[in-house]
Chains A and B, each alone.
Chain A
Amino acid sequence: MAKPKLALYWAASCGGCEVAVLDIEEKILDVAAHFEIVLWPCAMDFKYADVERMNDGDIDLCLFNGSIRTAENERLAKLLRKKSKVLVAFGSCAQEGCIPGLANLTTKEAIFRANYIDSPSTVNEKKILPQPETRVAEGTIEIPEFLDEVRALDQVVPVDYYIPGCPPQSVQIAAVMNVIIEGKPLPPPGTVLGAGDKTCCDECPRVRKEKKITRFYRPHEIIPNPDECLLDQGIICMGPATRNGCGGLCMKANLPCRGCYGLPPNTVDQGAKMLSALSSVIDSQDPAEIEQIVGQIADPIGTFYRFSLPHSLLRRVRV
């Protein structure tokens, strides 16, 4: 019987999700034994034409990481959706946009200007900008168009499952692959795999007490007590608004969570959730005092939406 076909593709990605897959170490041999890998541009033979030649649904499982930033990313998302039975948004970029999603706080024009014109090391008197098509002396060179906003995978095509994390922890990836290899039934579409169904606070070893915050600190401003909840100590931690599954690694390294495992269950907007959570722990009823305490938060939007901006309710800055 033919082996099920597996595809791994990366769109606007840093490569960390690919590395996380390889870091499942010996388990990768089980994966290679169980599947026929038909697409994996970082490591294997890959031709767009081959994928185009496949029948719809030929690919049994496609792990798609990276967000949709260029026209080529969008094209491949649509192509792989057609050719795949099961399409998984793999990692934070595909699930919610991740850190490059912060580009939705600015515009394509501003990005190009910063990079190619205003950059202090760049010498570009003619104000040349990259173009989708360039006529050179010998012919024409094409590059994919840079789109106006960053989108998550399910904002372009329907997605069957999500595996969150930046990157997803290898032990979680191995667990998911095991389920599939052992032929266990798949949960309902839309389920988040490889993660828990609580928040990060659930797997944080620190002791939580009742919170009454009168002052916020940035991580470099104090040396926190190693055993107490960081938010209790005034350090903004996205734990209450982030799904568990990573093992609480950052808090164990004495740093606050920044939200890379994405929305907790039953949440629509990660930033709104965090905003609400923080509001409940500010210890004041006086408007002026509240303003002053809130004013200590250095970068509300970039902290509450560090990983999830494209997938938030408001999605991007209004221009």
Chain B
Amino acid sequence: MAFEPRIVAFFCNWCSYSGADLAGVSRIKSPPNIRIVRVMCSGRVDPTFIMKALSLGADGVLIGGCHPGDCHYAEGNYKILRRMAMLKPVLKAFGIEEQRVRLEWISASEGEKFARVAKEFTEQIRSLGPLRRNGLPHPNAGVEKPAAVSAS
């Protein structure tokens, strides 16, 4: 079976999620590989979300926010901008290709842009291949939570 990229996306409610919605309503085709999680603002996206997605099976992560200056909460999108700048060298040191995590500004009216980005990103991840996990299972697999301990 050919490799189908699994991409997790975090889209802000006011701009990029609406943009993706618009693409849907306008019947613009886009690949099904993108699973979108709606957050109120791209500034809500914690680097933990990105790392967790990658560690649990995502081959790529896409973050969508409002264009600079248009953030519904004024400065939220600058936060994700700075976090991404800080995250990139860390991901690189983990051996994760820079292209697997992408930040895009997609406004509520940019249904076309969403579809284009979704298609491009999916193809890029397809050519990068699945994210290698060194053949190791999740480290906590098979380790049960400790039972309640009585005072001794």
A and B touch in the complex (CB under 8 A): yes
A interface residues (Cβ-Cβ under 8 A, vs B): 4, 60, 85-86, 105, 148-149, 151, 154-160, 183-186, 188-190, 268-269, 271-273, 275-276, 278-280, 282, 284-285, 287, 290-291, 294, 297, 300-302, 304, 312-319
In the complex, the answer to whether A314 meets B55 with C-beta atoms within 8 Å is yes
Task: List chain A residues, Cβ under 8 A from B89.
Answer: 294, 297, 300-301
B133 at the interface (CB under 8 A from A): yes
Task: Tell me the B121-136 residues at the A interface (CB within 8 Å).
Answer: 131-134, 136
Q: A160-B146, A188-B148, A314-B54 are in contact. List 20 more A-B contacts (CB 8 A).
A: A60-B152, A149-B134, A158-B144, A158-B146, A189-B145, A190-B145, A269-B48, A269-B52, A275-B90, A276-B46, A276-B48, A279-B79, A282-B82, A285-B68, A285-B75, A285-B81, A290-B81, A301-B90, A313-B51, A316-B134
One of B11-19, B31-39, B91-99 at the interface? B91-99
Which residues of chain B from 42 to 96 have any CB-CB distance to chain A below 8 Å in the complex? 46-48, 51-52, 54-55, 68, 75, 78-79, 81-83, 85-87, 89-90, 93-96
Compute how far the CA of A184 lies from the CA of B152 in the bound complex, rounded to whole angstroms: 9
A contact residues around B83 at 8 Å (CB): 275-276, 279
Q: Give the docked Cα–Cα distance between A276 and B49 (Å).
A: 12
Given contacts A86-B149, A158-B143, A287-B81, contact A279 B93 (CB under 8 A): no
The interface on chain B, measured as residues whose beta carbon lies within 8 A of the other chain's beta carbons, has a size of: 39
**A4 with B94, Cβ < 8 A, contacts A294-B85, A319-B134 known:** no
| Interchain CA distance A271-B147 in the complex, whole Å | 29
Q: Given A86-B149, A279-B79, A304-B90, are A318 and B134 also a contact pair (CB < 8 Å)? A: yes
Q: Which residues of B contact A184 (CB under 8 A)?
A: 151
Asked whether, in the complex, the Cβ of B85 is within 8 Å of the Cβ of A287, the reply is yes
Q: Which residue of chain A is the closest to B92 with respect to CB atoms?
A: A301
Contact A155 B140 (CB under 8 A): yes
Contacts of B131 in A (CB 8 A): 318
* A185, A268, A276, A291 pick with most chain B CB within 10 angstroms: A276
Instruction: Name which of B46, B48, B95, B131 has the most chain A CB atoms within 10 A of its CB.
Output: B48
Residue in chain A with minimal CB distance to B78: A285
Name the prevailing secondary structure of the B interface residues. loop
Complex Cα–Cα for A175 and B87 (A): 39
Are B90 and A300 within 8 A (Cβ)?
A: yes
Query: Which 6 residue pairs across A and B have the least CB separation, nearest first?
Result: A318-B95, A301-B93, A279-B82, A155-B139, A313-B51, A272-B47
Q: List 16 A-B contacts (CB under 8 A).
A: A85-B152, A155-B139, A155-B143, A158-B143, A158-B144, A269-B47, A272-B46, A275-B86, A275-B87, A276-B47, A280-B79, A300-B90, A301-B90, A301-B94, A314-B94, A317-B95
Q: Which of B55, B86, B149 contacts A279 (CB 8 A)?
A: B86
How many angstroms between the C-alpha atoms of A319 and B151 in the bound complex? 45
Complex: A273 Cα to B144 Cα, angstroms: 26
Are B85 and A291 in contact (CB-based, < 8 A)? yes
Q: Flag if B133 contacts A280 (CB, 8 Å).
A: no
> How far does the alpha carbon of A302 sit from the alpha carbon of B131 in the complex, in Å?
22
Q: Is the CB of B86 within 8 A of A86?
A: no
Find the B residue at minimum CB distance from A302.
B93
* Minimal Cβ-Cβ distance residue in B for A318: B95
With a CB–CB cut-off of 8 A, which chain B residues contact A319?
95, 132, 134
